[in-house]
Structure formats: structure tokens, C-alpha cells
Amino acid sequence: MRTMRSDYMHWAKFKPPVRYPLTGSEVPHFRMDSLPVTIADLDLDGASHPRYPPLREAIAGRYGVPVDQVVAADGTSMANFLAMAALISPGDEVLIELPTYELLLGAASFLGAEIKRFERKPEDAFRLDPATVEEAMSDRTRLIVITNLHNPSGALASEDELRSIGQLGARILVDEVYLDSAVPAPSSAVHLGPEFVCTNSLTKVYGLSGLRCGWIVAEPELTERMWRLNDLFGVNQAHPAERLACIAFERIDEVIGGNPDLLARNRHRWNAFAESRDDLDCIPANHGITAFPRWRGGDTHRLDALLRERYDTSVVPGRWFEMPDHFRVGFGVPLDDFEEALGRLGAALDDLT
Ligand SMILES: Cc1ncc(COP(=O)(O)O)c(C=O)c1O
């Protein structure tokens, strides 16, 4: 049956708020009123601007690709959907990593794909293993879908691994929404060949999820298909948001600010915490915004419930990633809050032991 909704997204949006959430996967929000922006900068004359060139140029400039390789979309979410809609016909076989971001499965299912999976194994540090992908493929595989960095684990795929997967004969959709949080940020897989279709947005490491500025970078024949498809869904982007996104790109270093440093410090604290716990198995977090430890106590739904009830804290239970004895933590939290949240997580783990 085709998926008609995302239960994970519904949970993520409407779960009761807590004081110390470790559920997020974005740095603290960036306030655009800290930039010298006036209302006149937003071109509020009511006109919309098809394929708004300044925004496409700003995105293309960051990738060093021609403008006709860029499609703008409402967040990485719509970017992923447009990319899949342009690449998949009902009944096509699509190979998706496991675990993964639930919305990728949902979009492929909604489009009528026949979904197959390949594992990224915790005992192999959630590595993207080209041999495992190849084994899971058939001659009907149209598309391989991966996240890099990997959501939930934060694992970084190497260029060699990606290149090998590029040689398997299918298109590859790489959701790179976390890639810019790796240090140093690796270059996009789109540079590895025309079979790669990459998506990203000004969210995770930029703290601008409210702008909904996302994009796809792919070969021009595909991007044209995606623009034309987008006419069915939203026609154009909201123009004030496009203007704000251009302003953010002009001052991107200011927008990123101390975020890499915050993430590095929180990863360091997380690694020390995870190392100190006998009840957790976790690969050291070297990159990114998330980690996905295994809890030896079983279903982490229980852990999240206790954290909420007694500690005003939360984690993402692993069942949202099809691995119930894992849980996801996010590092995009102010330093003091992160320290406090870890203390509370430790106390809850102790209670459950
Ligand atoms: C892998 C992945 N892709 C896409 C998104 C959504 O990104 P955006 O807010 O840019 O739509 C998320 C958000 O958690 C994500 O984890």
C-alpha cells in the first residue's frame, strides 16, 4: 500500500516540548534580524519570480556548477520528493539504506516504488558498504537512496565508497542535508558523475529551517524535469523567502558563525559520556549533528518516556529508524543545555538499569 503520511514527522512536529531536547538535528536558529536587512530588501510588490536567478546563482556558486544544474525547492524535504518524482515511475525498484530518514521511504512509497533495502550495520560503524549495496541490487534497480552524513548515525561516506556505488548502473540520490556539518566539509557527490543527484538546504548547520530554502543539484536534463514537475506542486517559491535566502548566502560565514565549534564541543562531550557508559554501544562521533547509540536495555521508547516524564528531556526512540534498541541524540544544543541534558540522560539510564 502506498504511504500517505509520515508518522515520524507528525511525532517530530507535535510531541510535547521539553526543556532539554536531544531530539533536534539542527543548530540553534539564526536570527535574520541580526543582519542589516530592511523590509525593502524583500521586494514585496507581490510578484513571484520563476526560477529566481539570483538564488540559483548563489547555490550554483557554492557548488561551482552551472546554474542549469540547480533546482530550488521547499527544503531538502521537497527537494528529495522532486528528485524522486523525476526519477521513479510506479513499480520501479528503489534501493534505500537501512536505517534511514523515514521521509525518504515515505516519498518513494507514495510514488509507487517497489522498495528494497540494504543495511548499514552498527557493527561496521554504519559504513556505506558498496559490496552490500551491490548484493541488494537487481537489474531492475532504478535508484539508490542514501543520506550523507548518515541520518541517524552521522557516519560519513568516503569518496571511494560513493564512487564505487556510482559504478553500479543506477542513479543515486544523496541527501546531503548534514554534509556541511562534517569538518572539513567534503565536496558534494554531484561532482562524482552525472548519475548522482544531490539535495541540501539552509537548515541543519545554518539554523535557517524556517526559510525553507532547499535545492537539488543534478544534470541539466533532470533539473528541467524537476522544475516542470514543481509546477504541479507549488509553481514558484515564496519570493520574500528567496530574497532572504540570497541575503543569507551573501553572509554565509556570519550565518554559520560558531556552529562548527559548538558541534565539535558537544560531540567531544558526547563521546566522553558514551565512553563512560557500559549500557551504551556507540561509535565515536567525529562528524555531524547526530549520534545513534545502542542501549543494552532494549526498546528505547521506554527511555524517552522516562526522560520526558521525570527529566524534562527527550531523545528520538530508535523505532523511528527501524532499530528500536538504538536512540538518536542531536548535538545542535547550546553548550550548557547539552551538558545538563547529558546529566539527565545518564540519570534516566541509571534508573532503568
Ligand atoms: C536526512 C534528512 N533529509 C531532509 C530533512 C529535512 O530537511 P529540510 O528541513 O531542509 O526540509 C531532514 C530533517 O531532519 C533529514 O534528516
Whole-angstrom Cα distance, residue 93 to residue 210?
Answer: 34
Spatial contact of 263 and 73, defined as CB atoms under 8 Å apart: no
Ligand 1 center to 351 CA (angstroms)? 33
Which residue in the block uniquely carries the three cell numbers 557508559? 277
Task: Identify the CATH number of the domain defined by range 47-254.
Answer: 3.40.640.10
Contacts of 3 (CB under 8 A, 6+ apart): 105, 106, 109, 110
Q: For the chain, what are the domain ranges?
A: 7-25+258-352, 47-254
- In 3D space, the residue among 71, 14, 53 whose CA is nearest the CA of residue 201 turns out to be 71
Q: Give the pLDDT confidence score for residue 16 in this predicted structure.
A: 95
**pLDDT (tens digit per residue) in 184-215:** 889 999 999 999 999 999 999 999 999 999 99
> Order of strands, edge to edge, in the sheet holding 141-147?
70-74, 213-217, 196-201, 171-175, 141-147, 93-98, 114-119
Q: Give the pLDDT confidence score for residue 313 in this predicted structure.
A: 98
Among 71, 181, 203, 321, say which to mutate for ligand 1: greatest number of ligand atoms within 8 Å of CB.
Answer: 203
Q: Give the pLDDT confidence score for residue 352 in this predicted structure.
A: 98
Ligand 1 center to 7 CA (angstroms)? 15
Ligand 1 center to 188 CA (angstroms)? 16
pLDDT by 10s per residue, the chain, length 353: 899 999 999 999 999 999 999 999 999 999 999 999 999 999 999 999 999 999 999 999 999 999 999 999 999 999 999 999 999 999 999 999 999 999 999 999 999 999 999 999 999 999 999 999 999 999 999 999 999 999 999 999 999 999 999 999 999 999 999 999 998 889 999 999 999 999 999 999 999 999 999 999 999 999 999 999 999 999 999 999 999 999 999 999 999 999 999 999 999 999 999 999 999 999 999 999 999 999 999 999 999 999 999 999 999 999 999 999 999 999 999 999 999 999 999 999 999 98
Q: Positive or negative, the Cα torsion across 100, 101, 105, 108?
A: negative
Q: Give the pLDDT confidence score for residue 43 in this predicted structure.
A: 93
pTM for the model? 0.98
Q: Give the pLDDT confidence score for residue 349 in this predicted structure.
A: 98
Q: Give the pLDDT confidence score for residue 1 in this predicted structure.
A: 85
What is the SS3 string spanning the chain?
Answer: CCCCCCHHHHHHHHCCCCCEECCCCCCCCCCHHHCCCCHHHHCCCCCCCCCCHHHHHHHHHHHCCCHHHEEEEEHHHHHHHHHHHHHCCCCCEEEEEECCCHHHHHHHHHCCCEEEEEECCHHHCCCCCHHHHHHHCCCCEEEEEEECCCCCCCCCCCHHHHHHHHCCCCEEEEECCCHHHCCCCCCCHHHHCCCEEEEEECCCCCCCHHHCEEEEECCHHHHHHHHHHHHHHCCCCCHHHHHHHHHHHHCHHHHHCCHHHHHHHHHHHHHHHHHHCCCEECCCCCCCCEECCEECCCCCHHHHHHHHHHHCEECEEHHHHCCCCEEEEECCCCHHHHHHHHHHHHHHHHHHC
Which CATH number fits the domain 7-25+258-352, given the four candidates 3.40.50.2020, 3.40.50.1820, 3.40.50.10580, 3.90.1150.10?
3.90.1150.10
Q: Give the pLDDT confidence score for residue 183 in this predicted structure.
A: 86
Q: Give the pLDDT confidence score for residue 203 in this predicted structure.
A: 97
Ligand 1 center to 347 CA (angstroms)? 30
Equal CATH topology for 7-25+258-352 and 47-254: no
Residues touching ligand 1 (Cβ under 6 Å) are: 25, 75-77, 101, 147, 151, 175, 177, 201, 203, 209, 214
